Amino acid sequence: MEYTTLGSTGMEVSEICLGCMSFGSSDEWMLDEGESREIIERAIDLGINFFDTANVYSRGESEEILGNVLADYDRDKQVVATKVYGEMGEGPNQQGLSRKTIEQELSNSLERLGMDTVDLYQIHRWDYDTPIETTLRALDDAVERGQVRHVGASSMWAHQFQRALDIAEREGLARFETMQNLYHLTYREEEREMYPICRRENVGVIPWSPLGAGYLTRPHEDFDETARGEHELDYGTQYHEGPGSEEINARVQELADEKDVTMAQIALAWHFHKEHVTAPILGTSSIEHLEQAVEALDISLSESDLEYLEEPYHPVPIYGHD
């Protein structure tokens, strides 16, 4: 495993972040605590030290499972990230980024994780009902209290992210040091505005869904037949239906056959070759797929390989901000 610096945080993280959305019981494709433990422990064996969860993942079960497993390991070596914004219950003050919601949800997340401090606390989306100044001050106070080491953001418009950075600098508040957004071979809209900001501001980039929710792991015609494919179609995912997506899928398959690796490994290797990507967030329910992902770190793609994979791409509608 190779390690890299996460933006301006100075923290050393593995070049793969283990996504924990599949840990819990809120859907049929998710893993219970025993199955999740096997994945987390194997990830640690492979050198992964970076874990991303959220309060909304199975209404806190994911945080509980992750915390229970990591308690058996050296906390000093781990980098743990969680998120706040999504709905955690019925009634008022159960979602969003108000000071009240941030403070109560952070307290609940820390309790579930069994930790006094979380390394990275991220806003899961932009809250249109709460002034960003209010959110930033609440996050800054959490840093001052020692409950949070660094703060980050997730999918939003580039102008919103820049505004948040400017306000934090002007007011002397903790600034967003990471961006977690949707990015993969068939959804590259973030390259236009968001990633130039991240490069200029030394913001760590940790893309979610680097395999396109599984679309880049199997031939195009097979995607809709999988349980995950059906879930994504029901959810309204569009990025695998864009102009050029089917051709990109075919080229991933072609290169995978040529190099005798899996399609998923090619799609991940592409991320590892992008200088603006710090660590893609990999969600998996299989130890075999986890091991293959780590093996993908050793796959070399030439400039012509990268151009071949990227050439069919056409702009697609913005997705993932809501």
Query: Which residues are within 8 A (CB) of 52 and not within 5 positions of it... i.e. 6 or more apart?
Result: 17, 18, 19, 20, 81, 82, 83, 180, 206, 281
CA-based end-to-end distance of the chain: 34
Contacts 24+ apart (CB under 8 A), 136-142: 136/164, 136/167, 136/168, 136/171, 136/173, 136/174, 137/99, 137/171, 137/173, 138/97, 138/98, 138/99, 138/102, 138/103, 139/102, 139/173, 139/174, 140/168, 140/173, 140/174, 142/102, 142/103, 142/106
Query: Can you list the alpha helix ranges (DSSP code H) found in the chain?
Result: 33-45, 61-70, 99-113, 132-144, 158-171, 194-201, 220-223, 227-235, 245-259, 263-272, 287-295, 303-310
R_g of the chain computed on alpha carbons: 19
Clarify whether 73 is annotated catalytic: no
Q: Which of 57, 195, 239, 313 is catalytic?
A: 57
Cα-based distances in Å from 274 to 70, 145, 161, 248: 30, 36, 21, 17
Say if residues 180 and 120 touch (Cβ distance below 8 Å). no
**Count of Cβ atoms closer than 10 Å to residue 192 Cβ:** 11
User: Residues with catalytic annotation?
Assistant: 57
